[in-house]
A and B are shown apart, each in its own frame.
Chain A
Amino acid sequence: MKRQWTEEELERRIADRLGERQRKLNRMEEWERPRRNVRLWKPAATVLALAACLAVAVYVSPLSGGSDIGADYDEAARGTGINVQPLLREGRYDEALGKVDSALRVADRNIRELNDEHFDDEVEYALQSEEMKKERLQALREKIMQKMNN
């Protein structure tokens, strides 16, 4: 038979193990850091290469000519829960952006509310879905902004 723990003892033991977990996470972060500094040129080179590829892609893409943007926007809007493709196809970017921003505000509010809920599988699932939706909305927003700036 195990010795009974008091509430305080249990809390202290949990805090200790949470601390141990955090220390491991901190060490992993430490191991990531030197590599990032030493090989700073590598991500920089990757970013430059990606930027160059993106520039070429934009230049040769049908998007830049505005001839066939449907498939691209369908993909970008997937999983966001809003239908902005018709607006985008018609070039009504401001309206589309307004719709995205409004959906982002709703997602933010939902995330905050879910974070305050008592957690269970259902809430966790809803929270993750909402966070993924928010990520997709942000990506869609960036895409629209890029198009507006071109």
Chain B
Amino acid sequence: MIHQLLNRQRKELPSDADIVAGLQAHDRSVEEQFYRSAKQYFMTHFKDIFFDEDRKQEIFQDSVLRLWTEIEDGRIRAAGAHLERLQASGAWLPMTANLTTFLMAIARNSYREVVRSNKEQTYGNIFDITPAGGAPMQDVDDADEADDIRIIDECIQEMPPRCLEILTLFYYEGRSLDEIMTLRCGKNESKTGLKTAKYKCMQTLKQRVMERRGQL
């Protein structure tokens, strides 16, 4: 009975290729379906790993965000019924994992970052076969808008959460330093400290983007 129900549920779910196409077309219903099915899977399989619910939710959303951005930026694409992922060398290689498994790998990696198990490998090389001696991305990418977006998104994802929080509040939401001090509930000792942190975070992010664009 349970198997029948699961099979019926599976049949109703879109394929990975449909999800990728839907996310790239900014289809809101696919976005929501993607999120909900990922959540269901995550909560079932990662039930006992985390020691608090807030952290579990944070890691889940961060992982969805990474995968969603990667798909939307065109670093993962559908090739028939299969998926391919863009390598640092600029080559497209078939993904050996489905989207859900890939998402779980991202989450595992985030979790390992949290507990600082430094010896673990990153999710980027768990499922993909990267050819040895691949050229840096800027050597092979065309100078088009999509590549620039990809580069900025990648650099953003590599920044620490507190930097992203400060930068988003200041540059996107246009909050003042005083407002950010309040919103961050005293996480910064002083306004000067916050100002310095904001400046250094932005400088680092800019530098990384420029390096990858070959502008430095």
Whole-angstrom CA separation of A118 from B65 in the bound complex: 26
Mask: chain B, 173-204; 1 = CB below 8 Å from A; 0 = not: 10000000000101111100110110011101
Q: Which residues of A contact B215 (CB under 8 A)?
A: 2, 4-5
Chain A, range 128-147, C-beta contacts under 8 Å to B? 128-129, 135
- CB closest chain-B residue, reference A13: B152
The smallest C-beta distance from B25 to any residue of chain A, in angstroms, reads: 15
Interface size range of chain A in the complex: 35 or more
Question: Which 7 residue pairs are nearest across A and B when measured between Cβ atoms?
Answer: A116-B193, A2-B143, A15-B171, A112-B189, A19-B172, A17-B152, A18-B172
For the residues of B in contact with A, the DSSP-based class is helix
In the assembled complex, A119 has its CB within 8 A of some CB on chain B: yes
In the assembled complex, A113 has its CB within 8 A of some CB on chain B: yes
What would 18 more interface pairs be, CB under 8 Å, given A17-B152, A119-B200? A1-B214, A2-B213, A10-B206, A10-B209, A10-B210, A14-B209, A18-B164, A19-B172, A20-B69, A21-B65, A21-B153, A22-B168, A24-B68, A28-B64, A112-B186, A116-B188, A119-B197, A119-B204
Contact, CB under 8 Å: A118 / B214? no
Question: By the criterion of a CB under 8 Å from any partner CB, how many residues of chain B are at the interface?
Answer: 49
Q: Which residues of A contact B184 (CB under 8 A)?
A: 115
Contact, CB under 8 Å: A17 / B193? no
Contact, CB under 8 Å: A116 / B197? yes
Contact, CB under 8 Å: A116 / B210? no
Show the binding face of B for A, using Cβ within 8 Å. Answer: 31-32, 35-36, 52, 61, 64-65, 68-69, 114, 116, 138, 143, 148-149, 152-153, 156, 160, 162-164, 167-168, 171-173, 184, 186-190, 193-194, 196-197, 200-202, 204-206, 209-210, 213-215
- CB closest chain-A residue, reference B197: A116
Contact, CB under 8 Å: B35 / A14? no
The smallest C-beta distance from B163 to any residue of chain A, in angstroms, reads: 6
Whole-angstrom CA separation of A13 from B153 in the bound complex: 10
The smallest C-beta distance from A22 to any residue of chain B, in angstroms, reads: 5
Chain A, range 110-128, C-beta contacts under 8 Å to B? 111-113, 115-119, 124-125, 127-128
CB < 8 Å neighbour of A27 from B31, B114, B156, B196:
B31
CB < 8 Å neighbour of B61 from A1, A22, A28, A112:
A28
Q: Which residues of A contact B210 (CB under 8 A)?
A: 5, 10
Q: Which residues of A contact B201 (CB under 8 A)?
A: 119
CB < 8 Å neighbour of A3 from B143, B153, B171, B189:
B143
Whole-angstrom CA separation of A117 from B190 in the bound complex: 11
In the assembled complex, A25 has its CB within 8 A of some CB on chain B: yes
Q: Please, could you name 14 A-B residue pairs with CB atoms under 8 Å apart, sorted by A?
A: A2-B214, A10-B210, A14-B202, A21-B153, A24-B65, A24-B68, A24-B69, A31-B32, A111-B187, A112-B187, A115-B187, A116-B194, A119-B163, A124-B160
